[in-house]
Structure 1
Amino acid sequence: MKKLFIALGMLCFCATVSAQGDWESLFNGKNLKGWKKLNGAAEYRIEDGAIVGVSRVNTPNTFLCTDKTYGDFILELSFKVDEGLNSGVQFRSNSKPDYRNGQVHGYQYEIDPSARAWSGGIYDEGRRGWLYPMTKNPCAQKAFKPGEWNKLRIEAIGDRIRTWLNGIPTADILDNADAAGFIALQVHGIGDNAAMEGKTVRWKNIRICTTDLETEKMPEICCLPQINCIPNTISEREAAQGWTLLWDGKTTDGWRGAKRADFPPSGWEIRNDMLCVQKSDGRESANGGDIVTTRKYKDFELVADFEITEGANSGIKYFVDPDMNKGEGSAIGCEFQILDDQRHPDAKLGVKGNRKLGSLYDLIPAPDNKPFRPGQFNTARIVVKGNHVEHWLNDVKLIEYDRNNQEWNALVAYSKYRDWPNFGNSESGYILLQDHGDEVHFKNIKIRELK
C-alpha cells in the first residue's frame, strides 16, 4: 500500500510539471473583492496574503463565496487549518431562496484534521451527505499534513469530479446534480463550544483554470476507486467490473409481484428516479405486496440505495422462495432489515436488537453505532459467496455469517423462521423488496454475479 501511495504521488507531480492551461487568480492577496459571505457569522479577514476564517460560537456553517459561478474548471489552492476545526472548499455550489431559505448546498472538498482523516473526500453540503468518504481510498488518508500548508486540487470536467491532496489522488466520482456554481471557503459551525472559538483556517494561492482543460487535467489512475453517483446508471468502470442494473430506473422490467406473475398494479410507483413503496396501513405485504426479481441469483454482490420516511419499515430479502408462503404476509427469505430504529416499534422486538436496521432480521443484530444517515439515502450492500454472507451499510460491514451448518440451523430454530423447512440454506433464490405498508424509496439497485 505504501508503494502505491508513493507511485500515485509521483504520477501526479509529473502531470503538474507539464501543465499548459491559463490560470486566473481568485484572490488578490489584499482584500475580499469578488467574494461575499453567506449563511453564518464567522469572521473572514486578510493576514500575510492569506484569507483567514475565524470560528465563532452559536453560528451555523459560514461560507465566503465567489461572486462568479464556474462550470468546468480545475481549481488549486493552499490551506492550513487549526487542530480540531473542520472546514472545506465548496464548488459548483449554490444558494437559492427557494432551497432552505438560501442555505449553501453543493459539492464540498473536505478539510478534516481529525483522526478520521477524510481530507480530500467529497461531501454534498446541505443535501445528500457523503458522496466519497475516504474509507473508499484509505491509502490517501496519510496525505494531510497537520499544522502545515496543504495543497488541494479539484478537477470538475463534465460529470467527472476528481480531487488531490498534496499531489496524492483522493477521490473520483461521476455525478450530474450540478453543472455550475460558485466556489466557497467554509468555516464550520462549532455550536456553543467556547474552547473552539477563535480557531482558524487559512487559504492562499487560490487559482482556477477554465480553458484547455483536456490538456491540463491529470492522467487516468485506474487503481483509484471511482463512485458513480448518477442515478440508475452503470459507468464504464462498473460495467468492466461486471455490474449491471437490477432496476433500470424507468420501468418495472425484471421484477414481478412475489405472489403474482406480473408487477403489482398498485402500491408501487416510479417517481423522480426512485422505485417507491406507497404508504398504506403499515401491514406486511397487504397493499401492493412484495416484489421479486424475475430470476434467481446464487453468488452475488448487491447494492441498493434506500431512503426511509419517518417511522417506516421495509427490507431487502435474498434466497427468497415465493412458493414457500402462499398465505398472508411477506414472502420468506433472509432479510437485510430496513427500519426507522427510533420510531418503529419493531426495533424493540426480537432478541438483542436483531430487528433493527441492517440486521439479519430476527436472527443476527447489527451494531447500534452503525453509520446511518437520517433523512438521506443510505447504501445497503449484501455479499453472498457460497455459504458466507455479509451485510454492509454505507461502506461499513455490519454483520457476517455462514449458513448451511449446525450453528446456522440452531440459530434458525430459535427464530420466527423455525417452521420453514431448510430456511436460508438454498443454493440460490430470488431478491425481494418488501412492502410493509410504509413509504420507502429505492434507487441505484445494482448487482454483479461472483464466480
Structure 2
Amino acid sequence: MQYRYLTLLFLPVLLLSCGGGEATRADDMATPEEVMTSAGEPMIEGSGEWTDLLAGDIGDNWHTYGKDAPGAAWKVDDEGALYLDASNKGEHGVVGGGDLVTNESYDNYEFELDWKIGECGNSGIIYNVIEHDTLPYPWLSGPEMQILDNSCHPDAEIVTHRAGDLYDMITGEPENVKPAGEWNSIRLVVKDGYVEHWQNGERIVTYTGEGEPWKAMIAESKFKDYPTFGSSTSGKISLQDHGDPVWFRNIRIRELSSK
C-alpha cells in the first residue's frame, strides 16, 4: 500500500514521541504463548462455525467503503474468485472499484483467504476498520496486512512494506510470499487486541494493538498524525483497491472465544 496523504482538520494531531527508526520485527513482539500464559488463558481456538464471505452475490457480504453497494469493477470470475478488474484506472484506484469492506463488524475472529496479485501489483487487507463519513479511507482507522509483488513493486524496497507485513510497522518473518500470479494463503487472528498474521502456513507477525508499546509503534509510522488509526480492536475488514488487478478466493471468517 502507498498512501495519498490528506489533512484531516476534524482530527487532532497525535502527540506521541519515541526514539529510533529501525523496523520492528515479528520476534520483537509478544508471542501467543507469552500473551496467553500471562493472562492464564488457553491457546487461541475457534469457537464458531465458518461463514463463507463469498456466498451469494458480492453485495450479500461486501460493499464499497462509504457506499451502499460494491463497485462494478469488483467481479467474480468463472472459478468463483472475487477479483478487481483494473482495466479502467482512474486518478486514484480503479473506476467503479474502491476499497471493499464487509457489511458486518467483527470482534475476536479468525479470517482466512487466498490471494494473488498481478505483476508488480499492490493491494492489502485492512482490518479493525471504523467506517464513518468523517473517515474517507479504511486506512485511517485499520492496520493493514500488505499484499504486494515483492519482486518488482517499488514498495518492496522498504522492509515493512512487503507482502504479509503489518504495513509500515512490523516486518513479517519469514518472507515466504509466492510470485505474482500464484495463490498465497493467509490467516488473520484478532483476539482481545492481540493479532497474528499467517502467510502460507507460517506465523509471520504478532503484536498487541493497544497499550503504550502500540502507541509508540504508531508514533514511529506514517500514521502518527491520524489518531483514529489503530484505535479499535474490532471492526470491519477491507480489501484494498490500489489500482492493480488482485484476486481473492476461499474467504471465510469465524468467531473466537473471548475467554
After TM superposition, give the deviation of residue 306 of structure 1 in Å.
Answer: 0.5
Secondary structure of the corresponding residue to residue 347 of structure 1: helix
Secondary structure of the corresponding residue to residue 409 of structure 1: helix
Equivalent AA in structure 2 for residue 321 of structure 1: I
Secondary structure of the corresponding residue to residue 360 of structure 1: coil
After TM superposition, give the deviation of residue 390 of structure 1 in Å.
Answer: 0.3
What is the aligned partner in structure 1 of residue 223 from structure 2?
417
User: How do 1:74-93 and structure 2 match up within 5 A?
Assistant: none
1:256 and 2:53 equivalent?
Answer: no
Extract unaligned runs of 5+ from structure 1.
Answer: 1-238
1:275 and 2:64 equivalent?
Answer: no
What is the aligned partner in structure 2 of residue 361 from structure 1?
167
Secondary structure of the corresponding residue to residue 420 of structure 1: coil
1:289 and 2:102 equivalent?
Answer: no
- TM-score scaled by structure 2? 0.73
Give the share of equivalent positions with the same residue, in percent: 38
Cα distance in 2 for residues equivalent to 1:313 and 1:282: 15
Paired residues in the alignment total 209
1:216-243 Cα deviation digits (max 9, x unpaired):
xxxxxxxxxxxxxxxxxxxxxxx99621
1:259-285 Cα deviation digits (max 9, x unpaired):
212222x22111121111121448654
| Contact map agreement 1:258 1:331 (CA 8 A) in 2 | no
Paired residue for 1:346, among 155, 176, 184?
Answer: 155
What is the aligned partner in structure 2 of residue 244 from structure 1?
51
After TM superposition, give the deviation of residue 402 of structure 1 in Å.
Answer: 0.8
Equivalent AA in structure 1 for residue 116 of structure 2: E
After alignment, is 417-426 or 319-328 more displaced?
319-328
Change (3 A) 1:437 1:261: same
Secondary structure of the corresponding residue to residue 375 of structure 1: coil
The RMSD of aligned alpha carbons is 2.4
Please identify the structure whose Cα radius of gyration is greater.
Answer: 1
Change (3 A) 1:433 1:331: farther
Extract unaligned runs of 5+ from structure 2.
Answer: 1-45
Change (3 A) 1:329 1:421: closer
| Contact map agreement 1:296 1:429 (CA 8 A) in 2 | yes
Change (3 A) 1:325 1:342: farther
Cα distance in 1 for residues equivalent to 2:224 and 2:105: 23
Higher relative contact order, chain-length normalized (CA < 8 Å, sep 6+): 2
What is the aligned partner in structure 1 of residue 209 from structure 2?
403
Equivalent AA in structure 1 for residue 231 of structure 2: N
| Contact map agreement 1:286 1:329 (CA 8 A) in 2 | no
Equivalent AA in structure 1 for residue 119 of structure 2: E
What is the aligned partner in structure 2 of residue 231 from structure 1?
none
| Contact map agreement 1:321 1:333 (CA 8 A) in 2 | yes
Q: Compare the two structures and name the one with the higher strand fraction.
A: 1
1:63-103 Cα deviation digits (max 9, x unpaired):
xxxxxxxxxxxxxxxxxxxxxxxxxxxxxxxxxxxxxxxxx
Paired residue for 1:299, among 108, 113, 116?
Answer: 108
What is the aligned partner in structure 1 of residue 146 from structure 2?
337
What is the aligned partner in structure 1 of residue 23 from structure 2?
none
| Contact map agreement 1:302 1:383 (CA 8 A) in 2 | yes
